[in-house]
């Protein structure tokens, strides 16, 4: 009994159930519908504020908290109404790759890319007589995807344009990834479709191994073909989602990567440019469409993503360059479509 003869209200605290999510969402909307709390919650969980103001996305987000947290509880009053919700021992999603949760390389490879970025930008230019000559040299253009992608990885996985640490994985898992991979509804969005290890495999194998291996190998125009993959990723993976869903980590740099990539692939003629774009689309279909589903649904080893990433950015571009690249020439600017014959 409370003082003054008032009847003390009793509450029931129980483990939250996925079936509670609609009631929890209604409670959130009633308490924080004005959006004042959404910004702080979005920063804590490294998601765009739009995920909390859009009801459909917010329901999926709240469901992921119920499914993936150490413990989530709801509070019911005497009439069975949910009047409270708490997530216990929950780690902010943008810290899911911290040293306490993932191996050192999984957590810190983006900073290695940040360190390599200026080196790969300056070294090819330093070996050319002038910047103009460098931009006409297919070998320089072939190496520049490495530099641009290291820059891209810095914003995407190290610290994004807002200063948030490792925010691409949770952002993707709760937005585009949630739309493309329905199996994540049952697996949970904390590590589906991307986790720190898959992210490491794809990024390191594509840029440090695939892109570099292509340029070390025989045909330098293979590097220009890899610009097609970069253009497709920048446009479909970042710029389109930015237009429809707001900022995503890597979107700002993608503007520059997309524009320069269009310039780079155009230097090899229309046929090679079209083939480069097709190669980029195939890379994403094979690696992310087929590969990710084999890992998530068929439970294939995650190392499959590393293998597909290398194949799609090393042997495939070299094959495209071998059969579709122009014959011998001195400057890319001297090319015209009549030169786009198959290499011997």
User: What tens digit of pLDDT does each residue of 207-221 get?
Assistant: 999 999 999 886 667
Residues 167 and 57 in one domain: no
Q: Is the pLDDT of residue 71 over 90?
A: no
Instruction: Say how far apart CA 172 and CA 168 lie, in whole Å.
Output: 6
Residue 141 lies in a domain: yes
Token couple for 147? 């530099």
Task: Note the pLDDT tens digit of each residue in 121-148.
Answer: 998 778 777 888 888 888 888 899 999 9
The whole-number pLDDT of residue 44 equals: 61
Domain boundary among 24, 57, 90: 90
Residues 35 and 70 in one domain: yes
Residues 71 and 132 in one domain: no
Task: Note the pLDDT tens digit of each residue in 144-196.
Answer: 999 999 999 999 999 988 888 888 988 888 888 888 888 887 776 767 898 88
Closest CA to 311 of 222, 243, 178: 222
Domain count for the chain, please give it: 2
Task: Note the pLDDT tens digit of each residue in 225-266.
Answer: 999 999 999 999 999 999 988 899 999 999 999 999 999 999
Helix ranges, the chain (H): 21-32, 38-45, 50-53, 55-68, 104-126, 131-136, 138-153, 168-174, 176-180, 184-187, 196-203, 212-216, 221-234, 240-245, 251-266, 270-284, 292-296, 303-313, 315-324
Whether pTM exceeds 0.85: no
Residues 275 and 132 in one domain: yes
Rounded to an integer, the average pLDDT of 280-297 is: 93
**103: containing domain:** 94-339
Residues 50 and 110 in one domain: no
Q: Is the pLDDT of residue 27 over 70?
A: yes
Residues 47 and 156 in one domain: no
Instruction: Say how far apart CA 132 and CA 143 lie, in whole Å.
Output: 16
Residue 344 lies in a domain: no
Residues 225 and 143 in one domain: yes
Q: Is the pLDDT of residue 327 over 50?
A: yes
The average confidence (pLDDT) of the chain is: 83
Of 97 and 114, more confident:
114
Residues 62 and 98 in one domain: no
Of 232 and 5, more confident:
232
């Amino acid at each position: 009994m409370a003082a003054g003869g008032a009847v003390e209200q009793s509450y029931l605290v129980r483990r939250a159930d996925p079936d509670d999510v609609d009631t929890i969402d209604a409670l959130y909307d009633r308490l924080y519908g004005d959006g004042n709390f959404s910004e702080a919650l979005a920063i804590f969980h490294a998601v765009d504020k739009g995920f909390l103001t859009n009801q459909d996305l917010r329901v999926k987000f709240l469901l992921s908290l119920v499914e993936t947290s150490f413990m989530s509880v709801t509070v019911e009053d005497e009439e069975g109404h949910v009047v409270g919700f708490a997530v216990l021992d929950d780690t902010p999603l943008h810290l899911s790759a911290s040293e306490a949760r993932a191996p050192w390389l999984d957590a810190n490879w983006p900073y290695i890319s940040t360190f390599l970025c200026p080196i790969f930008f300056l070294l090819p230019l330093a070996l050319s007589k002038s910047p103009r000559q460098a931009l006409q040299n297919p070998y320089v253009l072939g190496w520049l995807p490495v530099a641009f992608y290291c820059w891209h990885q810095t914003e995407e996985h190290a610290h994004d344009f807002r200063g948030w640490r490792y925010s691409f994985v949770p952002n993707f898992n709760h937005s585009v990834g949630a739309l493309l991979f329905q199996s994540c509804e049952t697996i949970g969005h904390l590590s589906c479709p991307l986790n720190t290890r898959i992210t490491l495999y794809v990024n390191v194998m594509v840029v440090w191994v695939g892109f570099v291996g292509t340029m070390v190998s025989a045909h330098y125009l293979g590097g220009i073909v890899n610009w097609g993959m970069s253009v497709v990723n920048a446009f479909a993976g970042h710029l389109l989602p930015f237009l429809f869903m707001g900022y995503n980590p890597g979107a700002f740099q993608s503007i520059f990567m997309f524009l320069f990539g269009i310039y780079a692939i155009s230097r090899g003629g229309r046929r090679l440019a079209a083939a480069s774009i097709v190669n980029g689309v195939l890379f994403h279909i094979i690696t992310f469409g087929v590969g990710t589903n084999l890992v998530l649904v068929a439970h294939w080893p995650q190392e499959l993503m590393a293998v597909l990433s290398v194949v799609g950015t090393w042997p495939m571009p070299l094959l495209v360059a071998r059969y579709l690249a122009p014959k011998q020439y001195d400057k890319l600017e001297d090319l015209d479509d009549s030169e786009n014959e198959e290499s011997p």
